[in-house]
Amino acid sequence: MMEDIIGRYMRLELDGVPHRIYVEEAGQGIPLLCLHTAGSDTRQWRGLLNDPAVTRHFRCIAFDLPWHGKSSPPEGWWREEYKLTTAAYAGAVMGVSRALGLEKPLVMGCSIGGRIVLELAAAHGAELGGVIGLQSSAHVTPYYDVSWTHRADVHGGEACAGVVSGLMAPQSPEAERWETLWHYMQGGPGVFRGDLHFYKEEGDLRGRLASIDTAQCPVWLLTGEYDYSCTPEATMEVAAAVPGAKATIMEKLGHFPMSEHYARFAAALAPVLSEVRAARR
């Protein structure tokens, strides 16, 4: 059985630097651009891109950030230390969106993706049809030493998976949880840590929330209750700071709702997608 997901490579420049980016998509209709979590890749969206209830009405697109999945790092990567920044991340998302010619895309991101959609709404809201933040927070206080995810004497893949494994709900199906961990075990050396530079250090967006106009760019926030990285409280702080944002706490889900238990996540996402469709009729 062949799935409906089609994957291709895109050549484009990001901040003047040539990149080769892996993009996959399924479905037709309203463009829905999906952003994976730190240290992972597009496979987290396999449930969504294989869900006919969604792809019937939405053109679902996911891409691997540079350094992730099947998107190579740019030439010269061996000379630099990877550190994701707000500007580079927003530039990559908007660059891919523009290269694909998406009109008023809905952007849905999880974790670091749930963070950057807040910046996208603040800085590029006029170009977007709305944002959906999964596990969204404006900042996170570090609670472990992230250097353990990138050391010569510790297996990086196993450490990354070990760090994130408990972020999922214990009720999530075992196979989906371990699939999610496999993606973490496959990340390049130091890439998860480099993403966390944005998530835990540089990308504190508390000062940006007031710039979001939800009349122009609607904001939905969906957060799994078992997430202790981006806690439900952190999401509710964002919701309180962004007038018009609609927040839902999802029971029996954690930090990777779309990947750890797609069926349960789909039920929480459906009303949001219905609202999007109703607004565009």
| Residue 148 engages another protein in binding (rule: CB under 8 A) | yes
Of residues 95 and 166, the one with the C-beta less far from another protein: 166
Of residues 142 and 207, the one with the C-beta less far from another protein: 142
Residue 68 C-beta: closest distance to another protein, Å: 22
Fill in the amino acid letter for 275: E
SS3 196: helix
| Residue 155 engages another protein in binding (rule: CB under 8 A) | yes
Piece of the chain touching another protein by CB under 8 A; list 50-58, 91-99, 112-120, 169-177: 169-177
Piece of the chain touching another protein by CB under 8 A; list 56-64, 71-79, 80-88, 164-172: 164-172
CA atoms of 138 and 115, how far apart (whole Å): 6
| Residue 72 engages another protein in binding (rule: CB under 8 A) | no
Q: Six-digit token pair at 213?
A: 């106009």
Piece of the chain touching another protein by CB under 8 A; list 27-35, 103-111, 163-171, 240-248: 163-171
Of residues 117 and 253, the one with the C-beta less far from another protein: 253
| Residue 174 engages another protein in binding (rule: CB under 8 A) | no
> Residues 206-235, buried b or exposed e (16+ Cβ, 10 A)?
eebbeebbbeebbbbbbbbebbebbbbebb
Site for another protein (CB under 8 A): which residue of 85, 171, 186, 248?
Answer: 171
Show the binding pattern over residues 114-143: x = contacts another protein (CB under 8 A), - = does not. Answer: -----------------------------x
In this structure, is the dihedral angle defined by the CA atoms of residues 92, 97, 98 and 99, taken in order, positive or negative? positive
Site for another protein (CB under 8 A): which residue of 9, 13, 228, 270?
Answer: 228
Expressed in angstroms, the distance from the first to the final Cα of the chain is: 34
Site for another protein (CB under 8 A): which residue of 79, 144, 152, 175?
Answer: 144
CA atoms of 127 and 94, how far apart (whole Å): 9
Give Cα separations from 79 to 13, 76, 82, 194, 202 (angstroms).
19, 6, 10, 15, 21
Residue 235 C-beta: closest distance to another protein, Å: 13
Q: Give the containing element (helix H, strand E) for 10.
A: strand 6-14
Give the interface size with another protein as a residue count (CB under 8 A). Answer: 22
SS3 235: helix
> Residue 72: left if φ>0, alpha if ψ -120 to 50, beta else—which one?
beta
Residues contributing to the site for another protein (CB under 8 A): 143-145, 148, 153-155, 158-159, 161-163, 165-167, 169-171, 225-226, 228-229
